[in-house]
Structure 1
Amino acid sequence: MTMHDDTEANGMNERGALLDFPGADQLATAGLVEPLSERALARVLAEVEAAVATEGATATAGATAAAQAYGPKSGVVAVTPIRRLSFGIGSGSGAGSARRRALIGLLTTAAVATGVVTYANTGAAPAGTGTHSGARANTASVFLDDISTVAATQSAASGKYWKIRTTVGDAYLSQSMDYYVINNGKAYRKGQRPDWQVGPKDLDWKGLEQLTTDPAQLLALLQTPPRPKSISPFDQAATLLSDSPAGPKLRAGVFKAMAGLKGVKLLGQVKDSTGRGGTAVEFAEARSVGRVIIDPKTSAILEYTFTWTAGPSKGKATHYTVLSTGFTDKIG
């Protein structure tokens, strides 16, 4: 009998057997799946492993501990992907299978009871149809806080040019803000790139390197009363994150500052215009809506969309899809 043929006595396949436990229906309808921080995930897995090792009363204690550790006060979700649970399916007796289902049921009950909702990078929903999660009013800020941690752990790098690859083509930015594009394999200088807006400041490459990385100070800058023709605080943050050579610490600070903006909403799982899955957040103003799709695994901005919701351009949308960014020492 192969691993694909293995069934329970009642004829269920492996997936069906795994989902045959108390609380499965609640878990299926609990919401989207958010990526946990490494520390939170490690703690959840520790609880699971402890429960599996004892196969008994300790499972109840483990589930209770998980519920306490990830309860409403912490605001962190504790749903472990089923594929990470190793219960030896296919090698146990009916009693063993029942114990496995009971263990998963205990952990699932703990997760559902705490109001756990998570966000996963599966790309299951098409662009523009992100599912709103009502489990926590501040889910967007929690997500952005988590992403700031991911951003901070990325490797720092440097180079003569900042390369941005988009669906339109490749562009290069020098440290003196000279802007180049590639056309038919040749590089063409397109003049000086405009500085990045951060509240009252207009920053070039050097100014960006000197910008504070403190989230509170960045938020204060972003929330400075707007100047004529200035873009929204959300758009300023999104621009820095999507196409500037900001380092890991600055990116982490900007994500945390973005989390502090009032009105930022979590849309959930979406796909960008190229079909890549990510998690979208948006910020609505009186006449427009800005939205970014973020890869929760890397903190990279996959796509930025700006849509007019009022005025002569109502309904007009601009998409900026980033395929990759990074440093390089040469053009081409």
Structure 2
Amino acid sequence: MSTYDDMERTGMSTQDVEETGMNERAVLLDFPGAEELVAAGRVEPPSEQALARAMEGIEMAVAVQEAGRAAQRERGAGVVAPLRVMSGRRRVLVGLFTAAAVAAGVVTYANTGETPANTGTRSEARADTASVFLDDISTVAAARSVSSGKYWKTHLTIGDSYLSQSMDFYVVNNGKAYKKGQRPDWQLGPKDLDWKSLDQLTTDPAQLLRLLQTPPGPDSISPFDQAVTLLGESPASPKLRAGLFKAMAGLKGVKLVGSVKDSTGRAGTAVEFAEAKSVGRVIVDPKTSSILEYTFTWTAGASKGKVTRQTFLSVGFTDKIG
């Protein structure tokens, strides 16, 4: 395709190039944040929260510019040349949208699960994207309504289970409920939590992070697993869930995978945490903050390649079993 064909396709004219002295690529990249975007790499679709923030900035920029032009006309200052106005608007709007996208942490490098060769800056950028995503999800979690009930029901692909406030554990098989003893307490750093202690637990993200980062005991699961288990399996309040998501954002080594589908085909956003011999991956619904699926994969040792999966179809309070 010729240069003139490119210009026609992008809405540029020869006058655009003549006035600016730049070719098509230079003009399209002539906005604030272009160098950062090019250096960053591929841009993935932003979250709904990030997109809303970006659109607010764009609408504000348009309103400010239109108001300025109207004021010029009223003062009789004349009309700015259309080509220059549109060029300026394009630079401002594209610059705002790009800056918002980069600031919102939507630049990723490993949606395929691979780590880039030059891991320095890019691996740090991936960590930043995970932090931003988890911070955004914490806001969604905090906005959910408070509810209550006698039992906490977990509806998995393998069946339903119920937990009472006294930690009695039930499973339902062929429509009949069976008591399976008491459920072990949830783990959070040095603390073992039952239903009652969840309501007494701090919701401050910094304190939750310190608990998660406490040196593990011999039987402790990883801090990432601790947080995911509480988020997916416990009747944690909206404030506690929000605090846990923010605490997860502070864990070193948490990476954003990006948009994926769980084993049932539901779309969500995946976050991973790698240890020496395993990788944990959680898929979160960005609209509701619900945990869709958690997988634990052994990457070394005798169990290498073994995958454990929990797919949460729904969770919530109920006043009866069955």
How does the TM-score come out when normalised to structure 1?
0.71
Deviations 1:57-102, CA, capped at 9 Å, x for gaps:
859xxxxxxxxxxxxxxxxxxxxxxxxxxxxxxxxxxxx9xx9898
Query: What is the CA distance between 1:55 and its match in structure 2?
Result: 7.0
Q: CA RMSD in A?
A: 3.4
- Following the alignment from structure 2 to structure 1, what is the Cα–Cα distance between the partners of residues 308 and 56? 45
Query: What is the CA distance between 1:108 and its match in structure 2?
Result: 2.2
Deviations 1:17-38, CA, capped at 9 Å, x for gaps:
xxxx946xx899741123254x
Residue equivalent to 1:109 = 95
- Number of aligned residue pairs: give it: 270
- Following the alignment from structure 1 to structure 2, what is the Cα–Cα distance between the partners of residues 290 and 276? 19
- Following the alignment from structure 1 to structure 2, what is the Cα–Cα distance between the partners of residues 249 and 172? 23
Which letter does structure 1 place at the counterpart of 2:95? Answer: T
Residue equivalent to 1:163 = 153
Within a 5 Å distance, the mapping from 1:1-332 to structure 2 comes to 22=28, 30-35=42-47, 37=49, 44-53=54-63, 56=66, 103=89, 106-112=92-98, 116=102, 129=112, 134=122, 135=125, 137-332=127-322
Q: Is contact 1:131-1:269 (8 Å) kept? A: no
Which letter does structure 1 place at the counterpart of 2:102? Answer: V
Query: What is the CA distance between 1:132 and its match in structure 2?
Result: 7.3
Give aligned-pair identity as a percent: 67
Query: What is the CA distance between 1:297 and its match in structure 2?
Result: 1.2
Q: Against the structure 1 CA distance between its residues 238 and 101, is the aligned structure 2 distance closer, same or farther, given a 3 Å change threshold? A: farther
1:155 counterpart SS class: coil
2:133 counterpart SS class: helix
- Following the alignment from structure 1 to structure 2, what is the Cα–Cα distance between the partners of residues 155 and 284? 33
Which letter does structure 2 place at the counterpart of 1:186? Answer: K
Which letter does structure 2 place at the counterpart of 1:139? Answer: T
1:116 counterpart SS class: helix
Q: Is contact 1:281-1:291 (8 Å) kept? A: yes
- Following the alignment from structure 2 to structure 1, what is the Cα–Cα distance between the partners of residues 321 and 86? 57
Larger RCO (alpha carbons 8 Å, 6+ apart): 1
Q: Which structure would you say has the larger Rg?
A: 2
Residue equivalent to 2:13 = none
Q: Is contact 1:198-1:236 (8 Å) kept? A: yes
Q: Against the structure 1 CA distance between its residues 143 and 230, is the aligned structure 2 distance closer, same or farther, given a 3 Å change threshold? A: same
Greater fraction of residues in helix: 2
Query: What is the CA distance between 1:243 and its match in structure 2?
Result: 0.8
1:302 counterpart SS class: strand
Identify unmatched segments of 5+ residues in structure 2: 1-7, 11-26, 70-81, 117-121
1:148 counterpart SS class: helix
Residue equivalent to 2:16 = none
- Following the alignment from structure 1 to structure 2, what is the Cα–Cα distance between the partners of residues 312 and 43? 48
Query: What is the CA distance between 1:284 and its match in structure 2?
Result: 1.0
Q: Against the structure 1 CA distance between its residues 54 and 283, is the aligned structure 2 distance closer, same or farther, given a 3 Å change threshold? A: closer
